[in-house]
Amino acid sequence: MEPSTLLVNTLWWMDPISEADQIVGRLRAISAEPVDPAPIIRTQLPFYGVKVSELRRIASGWHGEHPGATPAEIAAVADALWTRAVREEMVVAALILGRNAASRSAFDRDRLDGWTPLLDNWETTDQLGMALLGPWVGDDPGERFGVLEALAGDRHPWARRVALVGASRLSRLDDAGPWFAPSGALVLRLAGDREAAIPKAISWVLREHTRQSPAGVARFIDDHAAELPAIAVRETRKKLASGRKTGSG
């Protein structure tokens, strides 16, 4: 589904473009002029330099001001933000739509396919995976894990990374144990992928699953150490041994 088709032929009690404009006004009130993202992150997206904590505050505030918004309406506002392809607006879009299970119910594979082509950096990718995709899969992992498997085969490296980030969030389910095996299979599928976005994300998946499956992760590392990126083996063993890791995700 093309992003431009997401906002048409539907009647809303709110205008999603107007709502997005108001959110953008709040972002620009914090940082009126674009900044050079190079000291922070490599991206071609416009970048205002607003802290993620502020983006979370704006997303939370928007929900508080719109308690009656339906999932479809929330999704339309998120689409209006995401498709502008500005770093802050994309992150707020993921935070708004990922707010809770009700709002996430409007997310689907078509919307994901419309969003992922705009990913071009680890931060926006990771915010999408952490705030929206991972929790959405976790709402019904039996039905939705296949979306992560499909993304793992995407030619776009940031789509492959977001699949791994989504799998890492399954470690936070109350019954996360059974989901390490499919997450591990996803890791092995991408273990030979040397795009810069992938090895650290593999480490992230494994480290996160030590939360509820430490013995399973330890066996997995021992069995597949030769296949996995060295950084993933090193950081996961560090986490298993001490509860800490080296480096960042």
Give the domains, in start order, of the chain with CATH numbers: 1-109 (no CATH), 140-244 (1.25.10.90)
Determine which helix (DSSP H) or strand (DSSP E) holds 37, and give its type and residue range. Answer: none
Please tell me the predicted confidence (pLDDT) of residue 106.
97
Give the Cα separation of 241 and 235 in Å (integer).
Answer: 10
Regions of the chain short of the pLDDT cut 70? 1-12, 244-249
Tokens of 239: 């986490």
DSSP H or E run through 69: none
What is the pLDDT, as a whole number, of residue 55? 98
Contact in structure between 45 and 121 (CB atoms under 8 Å): yes
Nearest residue to 24 (alpha-carbon basis) of 112, 84, 113: 84
pLDDT tens per residue, range 9-45 = 344 578 999 999 999 999 999 998 889 998 889 999 9
1/3 Cα distance (integer angstroms): 6
What pLDDT, on the 0 to 100 scale, is given for residue 11? Answer: 41
The span from the CA of 32 to the CA of 173, in Å, is 39
Token duo for residue 203: 């480490």
Question: What is the pLDDT, as a whole number, of residue 38?
Answer: 87
pTM attached to this predicted model: 0.90
Q: What pLDDT was estimated at residue 244?
A: 62
* Predicted local distance difference test score (pLDDT) of residue 247: 47
